[in-house]
Amino acid sequence: MRETTAMNVEVRVFGPFHDVVGTRSITCPVPSEPTVGGVLEELVERHPDLESHLYEDGELADRLAITKNKSHVGQLEGLETPIEGGDTIRISPPISGGANEPVRTKS
């Protein structure tokens, strides 16, 4: 009989998170609390320096872009968004930019 292994999620990190973790992709077992928040707790346990990048005053920093399978968790259930084995969580700083002047179109 084959022994089953724990289900995993892939966590991809960008920007300063990559610098702290030292790699762009981390494989984590689905935590006992199978939510995005549970995955973040697991990451902070493995990489304590991440805490100051992820949280401000004990709350998740507003400036983060966290997605589950390309859907922003803020549009799902936030940190309570459930996860399953095979999901991909992405953590990145916000992306901003653009033109300072309005774009003009031909009439």
> Which are the contacts of 91, defined by CB distance < 8 A and separation ≥ 6?
11, 12, 13, 14, 17, 54, 64, 65, 66
Looking up residue 44, the CATH number of its domain turns out to be: 3.10.20.30
CA atoms within 13 A on the CB side of 23: 8
**Is 6 a residue whose pLDDT tops 70?**
no
Range of the domain at 80: 22-92
Structural domains in the chain (count): 1
Residue 98 lies in a domain: no
Residue 35 lies in a domain: yes
Residue 49 lies in a domain: yes
**Token digits for 61?**
């920093």
Residue 99 lies in a domain: no
pLDDT at 97: 57
Residue 55 lies in a domain: yes
Residue 27 lies in a domain: yes
The DSSP 8-state label assigned to residue 35 in this structure reads B
**Is 42 a residue whose pLDDT tops 70?**
yes
Residue 78 lies in a domain: yes
Residue 36 lies in a domain: yes
**Token digits for 106?**
């031909």
Q: How far apart are CA 43 and CA 25, in angstroms?
A: 12
pLDDT at 5: 40
Chain segment 90-99, per-residue pLDDT in tens: 999 877 655 5
Q: pTM for this structure? A: 0.78
Q: How far apart are CA 53 and CA 20, in angstroms?
A: 9
